[in-house]
């Protein structure tokens, strides 16, 4: 077993902790570094200089959005800023990183005056039973409001008092992005230009919360951004504009949302002047084609090893970074340890031996110096994990302290 651990460690570079959100290195970058190191160990310097790696990461600048659909009678109508009103009073409603990117874009529109910012109430994170080390959850929308010295409103519920406070901001339009609550009709009809929502799917597909995550869960090859005029229904309003984009093979939810936020900014810049001059004709959705999102909670991260490798990998991508995927391991008799799998990658099924193909789903084994878990139709490589209440660690460090892990069955 010690020799196996040494072999695994030898083939792995020093792992970058996954929880460091400021790092730009992704799980696929880590995997490709591993693969590149293996190639360097087996080929000469001359071969390395002449042969490109087959596992280079995709260049994010080469993926372009496709199929822009602007609901305008004349798609060639000029979009110069001088065609917009001199000033539009905007109330922005949103929470999270995606919403923060959209808010920054609103501030860059020369005719937009941000009259107020509405976001979710502050929440504390940390162990609930302890008052020590509990801090406020990150909310970049709140941070932007404070940085800009803007009017900030964080209502616990959208009742009559909350509506009255928003009315006092005198909005011409309400812009909504990932706010997280249904808005009442009275609020939607308050501004002259109503309320518009930036939704991260190609409506009428994937109505509801977390559409980007659901697209990954379903293994979709394409998604996009829809800007819609809000009504009382759940993402049922008329479409103002829409743009599609392919989903990358190894793209995770946080990466996809970041990319969609910039697509949304481009789409807003394209249509917003005409939105306020009446030059856009909203198009109704085809409700017969509507699909709904699955609500996501922590337990959705519990892996069922009887699923296919691709289904499990899609779940990992969809639930990264929150809530993450996990499995249970019986570290001692009748004592289960919860393991969060922080960096995983599909194993090459052509490398499976006949004996490995017959293993029970969930069985841990070492194949070609990789720590793997058997799935229904293959295996999944575990490159880093996080035991409950502990830090993220490379898999070889975990094996050093838990020799019985290999050969066990995860649940």
> Considering the domain 61-289 in this protein, what is its CATH number?
3.40.50.170
- Please, what is the end-to-end C-alpha distance for the chain in angstroms? 23
Asked if 183 and 176 count as a contact pair (C-beta separation under 8 A), the reply is yes
Q: What is the helix (H) or strand (E) element at residue 316, kind and residue range? A: helix 309-318
Rounded to an integer, what distance in angstroms lies between the CA atom of residue 30 and that of residue 18? 10
Q: Residues of CATH 3.40.50.170 domain(s) within the chain? A: 61-289
pLDDT value of position 136? 75
Hey, which bits of 260-378 come out as E strands?
A: 325-332, 335-346, 364-367, 370-374
- Which tokens in the block code for residue 252? 């995770």
Asked if 312 and 347 count as a contact pair (C-beta separation under 8 A), the reply is no
Confidence of residue 380 (pLDDT cuts 50, 70, 90): very high
Rounded to an integer, what distance in angstroms lies between the CA atom of residue 220 and that of residue 230? 26
pLDDT in tens, 148-176: 999 999 999 999 999 999 999 999 999 99
| Total-model pTM | 0.81
Asked if 138 and 21 count as a contact pair (C-beta separation under 8 A), the reply is no
- Which tokens in the block code for residue 73? 């009678």
pLDDT in tens, 264-290: 999 999 998 888 888 899 999 999 999
- Of the chain, the percentage scoring pLDDT greater than 90 comes to 69
Asked if 235 and 248 count as a contact pair (C-beta separation under 8 A), the reply is no
Asked if 399 and 15 count as a contact pair (C-beta separation under 8 A), the reply is no
pLDDT in tens, 286-297: 999 999 999 999
pLDDT in tens, 40-52: 544 444 444 444 4
Q: What's the mean pLDDT in 341-354?
A: 96
Q: Residues of CATH 3.10.25.10 domain(s) within the chain? A: 2-42+297-405
More confident residue, 336 or 58: 336
The fold of the 2-42+297-405 domain, in CATH, is 3.10.25
């Amino acid at each position: 077993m010690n020799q196996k651990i040494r072999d695994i460690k030898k083939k792995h570079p020093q792992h970058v902790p996954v929880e460091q959100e400021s790092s730009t290195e992704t799980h696929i970058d880590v995997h490709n570094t591993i693969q590149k190191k293996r190639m360097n160990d087996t080929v000469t310097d001359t071969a390395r200089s002449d042969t490109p790696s087959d596992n280079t990461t995709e260049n994010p600048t080469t993926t372009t959005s496709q199929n822009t659909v602007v609901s305008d009678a004349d798609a060639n109508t000029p979009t110069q800023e001088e065609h917009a009103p001199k000033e539009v009073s905007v109330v922005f409603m949103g929470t999270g990183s995606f919403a923060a990117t959209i808010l920054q874009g609103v501030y860059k529109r020369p005719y937009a005056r941000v009259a107020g910012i509405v976001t979710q109430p502050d929440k504390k994170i940390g162990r609930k039973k302890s008052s020590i080390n509990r801090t406020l959850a990150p909310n970049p929308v709140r941070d932007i409001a404070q940085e800009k010295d803007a009017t900030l409103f964080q209502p616990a519920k959208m009742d009559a008092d909350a509506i009255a406070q928003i009315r006092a901001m005198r909005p011409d339009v309400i812009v909504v992005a990932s706010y997280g609550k249904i808005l009442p009709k009275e609020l939607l009809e308050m501004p002259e230009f109503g309320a518009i929502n930036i939704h991260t799917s190609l409506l009428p597909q994937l109505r509801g919360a977390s559409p980007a995550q659901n697209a990954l869960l379903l293994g979709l090859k394409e998604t996009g951004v829809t800007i819609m005029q809000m009504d009382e229904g759940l993402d049922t309003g008329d479409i103002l504009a829409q743009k599609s984009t392919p989903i990358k093979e190894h793209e995770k939810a946080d990466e996809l949302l970041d990319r969609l936020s910039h697509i949304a900014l481009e789409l807003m810049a394209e249509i917003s002047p005409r939105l306020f001059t009446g030059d856009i004709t909203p198009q109704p959705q085809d409700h017969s084609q509507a699909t709904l999102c699955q609500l996501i909670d922590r337990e959705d991260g519990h892996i069922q090893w009887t699923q296919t490798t691709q289904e499990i990998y899609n779940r990992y991508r969809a639930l990264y970074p929150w809530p993450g995927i996990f499995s249970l391991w019986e570290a001692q008799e009748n004592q289960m340890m919860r393991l969060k799998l922080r960096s995983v990658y599909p194993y090459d099924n052509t490398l499976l031996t006949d004996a490995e193909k017959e293993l029970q789903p969930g069985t841990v084994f070492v194949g070609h110096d990789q720590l793997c878990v058997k799935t229904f139709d293959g295996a999944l490589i575990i490159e880093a994990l996080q035991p409950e209440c502990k830090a993220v660690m490379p898999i070889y460090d975990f094996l050093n302290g838990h020799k019985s892990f290999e050969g066990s069955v995860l649940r």
